[in-house]
Structure 1
Amino acid sequence: MAADNKQVWVETGYGIFSKEGPKGLKVEVIARNVNKSKSSFYHHFADMEIFTGLLLDHHLTRSKTIAEEEKKCRNIDPELIIVLVASKTDLLFNRQLRVHRTDTNFKKCLQKSDEIVSQGFISVLTKDLQLENNPKLAASLFALALENFYLQVTEETLNVEWLSAYFTNLKKTVSQFNVSQ
Structure 2
Amino acid sequence: MNQPPTRNLWIEKGYEQFALFGPEYLSINRLSKELVLSRATFYHHFGDIEGYIEAILQTHKAAAKQFDSWCKKECNQFFPDIYVHLSQAKIPFLFTRQMFLHRHIPLYEATFLEVFKASSDTFALDLFAQQFDLPRNAENTFKLWITVCEAWYSRIDPEDLSTESMMALGKEVLASVLSLSPEKLHYLN
Which interval holds the TM-score relative to the shorter structure? 0.7 to 0.9
Compute the TM-score of the two structures, normalised by the length of structure 2: 0.81
Note the 1:110-125 alignment, pairs <5 A: 110-119=112-121, 120-125=123-128
CA distance in 2, matches of 1:115, 1:91: 15
- Deviation per residue, 1:128-167 (Å, 9 max, x gap): 2332578444322211111111111232132212112123
Report the TM-score when normalising by structure 1: 0.84
* Corresponding position of 2:18: 17
CA RMSD of aligned residues (A): 2.7
Matched to 2:100, the amino acid is R
Aligned to 2:134, the other structure's residue is in SS state coil
Structure 1 residues 149 and 45, CA gap change in structure 2 (3 angstroms): same
Q: Distance in 2 between matches of 1:66 and 1:133?
A: 21
Equivalent residues of 2:68, 2:119 under 8 A apart: yes
Gaps of 5+ in 1: none
In 1, Cα distance between equivalents of 2:100 and 2:58: 16
Offset at 1:113? 1.1
Letter in 1 for 2:14: G
- Aligned residue for 1:101, secondary structure, equals coil
- Alignment correspondent of 2:77: 75
The aligned counterpart of 2:129 is: 126
The amino acid across from 1:129 in the alignment is: F
Residues of 1 paired with 2:98 and 2:134: CA distance? Answer: 30
Is the CA contact (8 Å cut-off) linking 1:17 and 1:25 kept in structure 2?
A: yes
103-112 or 10-19, larger mean C-alpha shift? 103-112
CA distance in 2, matches of 1:78, 1:174: 19
The number of aligned residues is 179
Aligned-pair CA distance for 1:62 = 1.4
**170 and 135 in structure 1: CA distance in 2 versus 1, 3 angstrom threshold:** farther
Letter of the 2:160 counterpart: T
Alignment match, 2:62: 61
- 1:105 alignment partner in structure 2: 107
Q: Following superposition of structure 1 onto structure 2, how do residues 22-61 of structure 1 map, counting pairs within 5 Å?
A: 22-61=23-62
Distance 1:71 1:161 in 2: 21
Out of 6-15 and 127-136, give the one that drifted further.
Answer: 127-136
Please tell me whether residue 165 in structure 1 is matched to residue 157 in structure 2. no
Aligned counterpart for 2:143 among listed residues 140, 143, 148: 140
Contact 1:14 1:93 in 2 (8 A): yes
1:6 aligns with 2:7: yes
Q: Is the CA contact (8 Å cut-off) linking 1:71 and 1:123 kept in structure 2?
A: no
Amino acid corresponding to residue 83 of structure 1 in structure 2: H
**Cα distance in 2 between the residues matched to 1:20 and 1:133:** 35
Please state how far the C-alpha of 1:40 moved relative to its aligned partner.
Answer: 2.3
